[in-house]
Every structure is written in C-alpha cells, then in structure tokens.
Amino acid sequence: MDSEIQCDRLKLLEDRIRGSLEDVRKRKRCKWCQNPKVPVSSKGLCSSCYRWDRMQRKLSKEVEGLPARTIRDPHWKLRHELDVANCAIELCKGDGDTLETQLDQTDPADIEEEFQILAAKMLGPRRGAPLFQGTAHFFYDFSPTQRVWLWYLLSMIVSEASRRDRISTARSVNLRNKHSKIGGG
C-alpha cells in the first residue's frame, strides 16, 4: 500500500514537472538569450539583449565611417567597445542556444556542469568548480523529465548571474580572442 502511494506521488510529481516545462516552452522568450522569465520587447528581445543590440548598432554606425585600423589607431577605444558589444551579443545568443537544446533533453553531465558553474560563481573558480566534479552518476536516478527540470532551475540562476557579468565576460573573452590572434597568427 505504501509503495502504491509513493508511486502515485511520483507520477503526480512527474506530471507537475512536465506541465511546468510545457509552460516554460510556451512562454514568450527573448529571441537571443531565450530567457522565459523576463519581459520581451516588440523587437523580441529582453531589456538586456536589447541594450546590447542598440549599443552594437550605434557603435557600428560610428565605426563604419572611420579609416582602417593603424598601429597607433586613435579610434581604438571605439573599435574595442564594438568588439565587446559583438562578443556580448554572441554570449547572449549562446545562452539561448544552450537553453533551447537542453529543454528537450538533459544529460546528467549537464546538471553536474551547471552545479560546477554555479559553485564557481559563488565560491570562485579554484574552490567552487571542483566541488561537484564526478557527481553526474547521482543524476542518472532522476527521470529524463526531472533532469531537465533540475537543469532548467539551475540554469536560470546561472543565466541571471551571467547576465549581470556579461560586460566583464565579453571584455575578457574579447581580450583572449585578440591575444590568441596575435600569438597564433
């Protein structure tokens, strides 16, 4: 009798999760970051992505009329800010691609990765990132629907933190890209 009640509860839980995931899939989401929790403008973008879009368009127009880059480019800062805006837009779209993919099916390793990212953001990369390494095997006991739901909840926290850090992340990625071009080319 107890196992029947427990089975019924698990089925009810699974149905609730499935319904919640369906609600998430149906919500109007930002075209770029796919965040279902933020309002979307008539352009189809959330306020964060819209700001990056506006900045990128404005900077593109300003850079468009400039002469070609030189070694002592007097417009380096403007060009750099455009590169950062372009990088931030790519980060927004990358977040959206990930969310779109993972809402269909999530692997236990994806959940482990989200825990690692979250721990690294809270505790720093050296202390936080290794905290959850090797824990993916625990998530095989979850149903596929439960894994997607758990990943989604974690990713919303990570995504919000990423939105707040987007400019610094874009600057560091842009800088790394420039250094790899110089070193590799």
Question: Model confidence over 48-75: pLDDT tens digits?
Answer: 999 999 999 999 999 888 887 777 778 8
What average pLDDT score do residues 83-104 get?
90
Q: What is the pLDDT of residue 51?
A: 92
pLDDT surpasses 80 at 137:
yes
Q: What is the pLDDT of residue 185?
A: 47
Q: What is the pLDDT of residue 179?
A: 60
As a whole number of angstroms, the distance between CA 133 and CA 29 comes to: 32
Which of 101, 97, 103 has the alpha carbon at shortest distance from 147? 103
Q: What is the pLDDT of residue 9?
A: 85
pLDDT surpasses 80 at 177:
no
As a whole number of angstroms, the distance between CA 131 and CA 117 comes to: 10
Burial 90-120 (b: 16+ CB within 10 A, else e): ebbbebbebbeebbeebebebbbbbbbbbbb
CA–CA distances in Å: residue 37 to residues 21, 121, 152, 158: 13, 21, 12, 13
Output the pTM of the full model.
0.77
Q: What is the pLDDT of residue 167?
A: 79
Which of 51, 19, 177, 157 has the alpha carbon at shortest distance from 99? 157
As a whole number of angstroms, the distance between CA 21 and CA 116 comes to: 23
Amino acid identity, residue 41? S
**Number of neighbours of residue 59 by Cβ within 10 angstroms:** 19
Instruction: Say whether 74 sits in a helix, a strand or coil.
Output: coil
What are the residue ranges spanned by the domains of the chain? 2-184
